[in-house]
Amino acid sequence: MKMRAIMSAALVTTAAAATFALAQGNDRVAFPANYKDGIHYTTVERGNIREEIYANREAIEAAKKGQPLPSGTIITMEDYRDGRLFRYIVMEKRTGWGERYAQDVRNGDWEFQSFQPDRTVNRSENVSRCMGCHKAQGNNDFVFTLDRMRSAKVSQAESALRHAALMSEARDAAFDASVLALLAQAGESNADARVID
């Protein structure tokens, strides 16, 4: 009888600790004020939703080498609805951060947080929902867009070069199109000429 009382007391303590852990987790991720110094690696669009996703440079470099995302990785998403900023959501990985979670909840060493457009924590968001859904990406370091991190452009110089290359390709295509149009016109007038002949 006494043993049972002790055990249920222990269970209550564990449950309290788990709740505490979630509340704590909620405060571990600070708004990453400098996220735009990192790399904007992808845009996801779905219906009226547009998501602009950024990660710090070290994370992108690790992803490109096929390495695990390092401790200190921060992924920041600007979440727009109908073109207006609706919220920011952030996931941050630090060695040991996952230790307080039970295995069936834990997302490696990631913590999740949701921020309002004014960058304050959105207290009404239940971060255990974030963990529940991202857990499915366990084989991809809990990141849905890991492939896009791998294929991201790394340096600004490189992205400027790619942009220039695309522009010249576009110019070439426009040039080709106008030449073809001219040729077609010429062909037509030749044909006309032939008809006249």
Q: Which residues contact 131 (CB under 8 A, 6 or more apart)?
A: 101, 105, 106, 107, 110, 112
CB of 118 to ligand HEC, least distance (A): 16
- Cα–Cα separations (whole angstroms), residue 144 to 44, 65, 75, 128, 130: 11, 18, 11, 17, 12
86/144 with CB nearer ligand HEC:
144
Q: Could you tell me which stretch among 17-25, 94-102, 125-133, 159-167 binds ligand HEC (CB under 6 A)?
A: 125-133
Q: What is the dihedral of CA 13, 97, 28, 129, to 10 degrees?
A: -70
132/187 with CB nearer ligand HEC:
132
* 62: contact with ligand HEC by CB under 6 A: no
Per DSSP, helices labelled H in the chain are: 2-28, 57-64, 127-134, 146-150, 156-196
- Which 84-123 residues touch ligand HEC, going by CB under 6 A? 89-91, 112-114
CB of 165 to ligand HEC, least distance (A): 27
CB of 188 to ligand HEC, least distance (A): 49
* 60: contact with ligand HEC by CB under 6 A: no
CB of 137 to ligand HEC, least distance (A): 6
* 74: contact with ligand HEC by CB under 6 A: no
Give the tokens for residue 193. Answer: 């000429």
Mapped onto helix, strand or coil, the DSSP state of residue 68 is coil
Q: CA 57, 61, 67 angle in degrees (round to 5)? A: 130
Summarize as ranges the residues that interact with ligand HEC (CB under 6 A).
44, 51, 53, 75, 77, 89-91, 112-114, 125, 127, 129-130, 133-134, 143-145
